[in-house]
Amino acid sequence: MKNTKYELTTERIRTRHGILNKQTDELEFYRVRDYKLDQPFFLRMFSLGNIVLETSDRSHPTGIFAAVPNGEPLREQLRTCVEACRTKKGVREVDFE
């Protein structure tokens, strides 16, 4: 979205969007379970991509960075930040089936 701003800190992702009514959402890195880069043909023509985050956050189970430039390096940066935050906090992701 044109009026969406993303901010990465050392421990979370902050998303701000809206023109008249502004909303701020935060996602803690240690809650990210999986990340993928989605590059539909139209976005790939402009070197853009969508980064999709699957999380354990109940209020935002899926986070999307829509149409971001340089998607692959950003996805790798997010992965590095997630692993560093998990290590720092001593958090482990466990899947039950």
- Please state which architecture CATH assigns to domain 4-89: Roll (2.30)
Domain boundaries, the chain: 4-89
* pLDDT interval class at 34 (50, 70, 90): very high
**Token digits of residue 68:** 């971001």
Task: Give CA–CA dist 79/60, Å, rounded.
Answer: 18
pTM of the model: 0.82
pLDDT band per the 50, 70, 90 thresholds, residue 70: confident
pLDDT over 60 (residue 1): no
List, in sequence order, the alpha helices (H) in the chain.
Answer: 41-44, 71-89
Q: Map tokens 């466990």 to a residue.
A: 94
Residue 10's region, left for phi above 0, alpha for psi from -120 to 50, else beta, is alpha
